[in-house]
A and B are shown apart, each in its own frame.
Chain A
Amino acid sequence: LNILQLPLAGPFLRWRHVRTALQLVLLIVAAAVVLHGLFGPQLAPRNLATVLTSIHWRGLLIVALAAAGNLFCTACPMVLARDAGRRVFHPALRWPRRLRGKWIGIALLVTVLFSYELFDLWSLPRATAWLVLGYFGLAIVVDVIFSGATFCKHICPIGQFNFVASMMSPTELRVVNMDTCRSCRTVDCIKGHHTQRGCELGLFLPLKSGNLDCTLCLDCVHACPHDNIALETRTPGAELTDPGRRSGIGRLSQRIDIAALAVVFTFASLLNAFAMTSPAYAVEQRIAAILGVRSEAPVLALVFVIGLVILPGLLLGAATIASNALDRTHTPAGPKGPARLASSLRATVVRYAYALVPVGLGVWIAHYGFHLLTGIMTAGPVAQSAAIDAFGRAALGEPSWSWVGMQPGSVFPIQLGFVLLGAAGSVALVRSISRPGDASKPSLASAPWLVLVAILAATAVWILAQPMDMRAVTVLG
Chain B
Amino acid sequence: MGCSSGCARNADPSDTISVTWALDPSPPVTGAPMVARLTLRDEQQRPVSGARLRLEGLMSHPGMAPVTADLAERGDGTYEAPFQFTMAGDWILLVTGDLQGGGKLRKQIEIPGVRPASSP
Contacts and interface: CB of A to CB of B under 8 A. Distances in A.
Contacts of B30: 467
Contacts of B59: 45, 470
B90 A123 contact: yes
Interface stretch (A27-35, A48-56, A286-294, A388-396): A48-56
Contact of A472 (B58, B112, B115, B119): B112
Nearest to A59: B63
A234 B120 CA distance: 51
B89 interface: yes
A43 B89 contact: no
B110 to A, nearest CB: 9
Contacts of A378: 62-63
A122 interface: yes
B108 A471 contact: no
Contact of A467 (B58, B62, B66, B88): B88
Contacts of A467: 30, 87-88, 116
Contacts, number: 89
B65 A123 contact: no
Nearest to B113: A471
Given A278-B116, A471-B113, A472-B112, A45 B90 contact: no
Contacts of A51: 62-63
Contacts of B73: none
A54 B63 contact: yes
Contact of A45 (B58, B87, B88, B116): B58
B119 A278 contact: yes
A401 interface: yes
A44 interface: yes
A123 B60 contact: yes
A375 B113 contact: no
Interface residues of A, number: 33
Interface string A332-352: 000000000000000000000
Given A467-B87, A468-B87, A470-B87, A375 B62 contact: yes
Interface in A442-477: 467-473
Q: Which of A54, A378, A467 has the most CB of B within 10 A?
A: A467
A54 B62 CA distance: 7
Contacts of B108: 43
Interface string B37-67: 0000000000000000000101111111110
B62 A472 contact: no
B105 interface: no
Interface string B80-120: 00000001111010100000000000001000110110010
A46 B65 CA distance: 12
Interface string A94-125: 00000000000000000000000000101100
A473 B30 CA distance: 18
Nearest to A376: B63
Nearest to B91: A470
A26 interface: no
Contacts of B92: 43, 45
A55 B87 contact: no
Contacts of A468: 87-89
A55 B65 CA distance: 13
Candidate in B56, B63, B87, B90 with the most chain A CB atoms within 10 angstroms: B63
Contacts of A401: 56, 66
Contacts of B60: 44-45, 120, 122-123, 470-472
Interface residues of B, number: 23
Nearest to B61: A470
Nearest to A382: B62
Contact of B63 (A55, A278, A471): A55
B89 A371 contact: no
Nearest to B88: A469
A45 B66 CA distance: 9
Nearest to B63: A375
A158 interface: no
A405 interface: yes
A371 B63 contact: yes
A401 B119 CA distance: 31
Contacts of A375: 62-64
Nearest to A406: B65
A133 interface: no
A122 B65 contact: no
Contacts of A122: 60-62
Contacts of A120: 60
A238 interface: no
Contacts of B87: 408, 467-470
Contact of A469 (B58, B62, B65, B89): B89
A175 B120 CA distance: 61
A44 B62 contact: yes
26 contacts: A45-B61, A45-B63, A45-B66, A46-B58, A47-B62, A50-B62, A54-B61, A54-B63, A55-B62, A122-B60, A123-B60, A123-B61, A123-B90, A374-B63, A374-B65, A378-B63, A401-B56, A408-B87, A467-B87, A467-B88, A469-B116, A471-B89, A471-B90, A471-B112, A471-B113, A472-B112
Interface of A: 43-47, 50-51, 54-55, 120, 122-123, 276, 278, 282, 371, 374-375, 378, 382, 401-402, 404-405, 407-408, 467-473
Given A44-B62, A50-B62, 4 more contacts: A44-B61, A45-B60, A374-B65, A470-B90
